[in-house]
Chain A
């Protein structure tokens, strides 16, 4: 069992009166958040690229330098909310709809965090491990 991930769920699932969530666990979700945001933006950028959008055009459209746009679109990074807004506006004239889901799952599924091998997972590309968050 992955000690880190077992504790992760325990600490996050401790409720409002639980102890402070350790920084390393918060950092873990910060990194996930960055990657989700990047995924969200780059997917839209690549779709609009087929319609003629380029980084240079985007830079001009939202009043940033091409270097800044290149950096923002090169990989997950700690974008400010204002930058995310600018990017979505310039890429696809969109704004973000917010939604969230719980990361705490029933105790029985904690074993899914186990990184030890399981035969069925090795023989299927999807299925058992895809457990929906509560």
Chain B
């Protein structure tokens, strides 16, 4: 017996053993026994448990807005969105960030750039290397900031860390990302992968070339000439 599904992995039974392959990193087998013990949790059940256990935090929309997508936040992102801030440019910047992330939750139309570092005004862009499947939510009003993230499943975004784009900001602990080849970009991507390994060990982020696999109500921002 063998069962394959493209997203959840494969289930195989050869008459004496049953094996379940969830991803490249996990393989559960129970040799020599017809009554196999399967330990399986879908990635959806997994992130819901993380939210329930307060290991990750789920961003709520403003009341009255629909909840179409999900933004899961690390403690770092949650702290940035909720910390006390005196009025001023930093508080304004934080307000725009919150509104943008809540716009994602509310299902607003999104422009997305899948070609690394070619985005102009797109809200979400894919970063290099593509195989890492790390993305950033782009808040471009100066001083620009980026939220590094990965897609847990379609319409579920795991927001890991918030970085200033071009200049140091007092309310963010990190150095500016600078140009595309800088160490800070690499560190941001590495941190995103590290946090993924902490919270989603054994699971793969969404990967692929079709935007529809990542997001609903989204369209591509072309590099030249538009759609």
A residues neighboring B (CB under 8 Å): 2-5, 22-25, 27-29, 31-32, 35-36, 38-39, 42-43, 45-46, 49, 54-56, 66, 69-71, 73-77, 101, 103, 105, 109-110, 112-117, 119, 121-123, 125-126, 129-133
Q: Complex Cα distance A93/B85, Å?
A: 44
B residues neighboring A (CB under 8 Å): 47-48, 51-54, 56-64, 66-67, 73, 78, 81-85, 87-88, 91-92, 94-96, 98-100, 102-103, 108-109, 111, 120-123, 138, 140, 219, 221-222, 225-227
For A73, what are the chain B residues with a Cβ–Cβ distance below 8 Å?
111, 226-227
Known: A4-B82, A23-B87. A42 touches B98 (CB 8 A): no
Contact A119 B63 (CB under 8 A): no
Residue from A75, A114, A119 in contact with B221 in the complex, judged by beta carbons closer than 8 Å = A75
Contact A3 B111 (CB under 8 A): no
Known: A4-B81, A121-B58. A105 touches B87 (CB 8 A): no
Contact B122 A36 (CB under 8 A): no
Q: Complex Cα distance A36/B87, Å?
A: 25
Contact B95 A27 (CB under 8 A): yes
Q: Name the residue of chain A whose CB is nearest to the CB of B97.
A: A31
For B96, what are the chain A residues with a Cβ–Cβ distance below 8 Å?
27-28, 31
Contact A75 B87 (CB under 8 A): no
For B62, what are the chain A residues with a Cβ–Cβ distance below 8 Å?
5, 32, 103, 113
Contact B121 A75 (CB under 8 A): yes
Residue from A22, A36, A109, A123 in contact with B48 in the complex, judged by beta carbons closer than 8 Å = A123
Q: Chain B's interface: helix, strand, loop or mixed, by majority?
A: loop
Q: Name the residue of chain B whose CB is nearest to the CB of A53.
A: B227
Residue from A22, A110, A121, A122 in contact with B87 in the complex, judged by beta carbons closer than 8 Å = A22
Contact A116 B54 (CB under 8 A): yes
19 further A-B pairs in the complex, CB-CB below 8 A; given A113-B60, A117-B52, A133-B64: A4-B81, A4-B94, A22-B91, A23-B87, A23-B91, A24-B95, A28-B95, A32-B99, A39-B109, A49-B227, A73-B227, A74-B111, A75-B122, A101-B64, A112-B60, A115-B59, A116-B57, A122-B52, A133-B63
A18 to chain B, nearest CB (A): 16
Q: Complex Cα distance A115/B222, Å?
A: 34
Contact B98 A131 (CB under 8 A): no
Q: Name the residue of chain B whose CB is nearest to the CB of A74.
A: B121
Contact B225 A24 (CB under 8 A): no
Residue from B54, B109, B226 in contact with A70 in the complex, judged by beta carbons closer than 8 Å = B226
Q: Complex Cα distance A38/B104, Å?
A: 13
Contact A24 B120 (CB under 8 A): no
A74 to chain B, nearest CB (A): 3
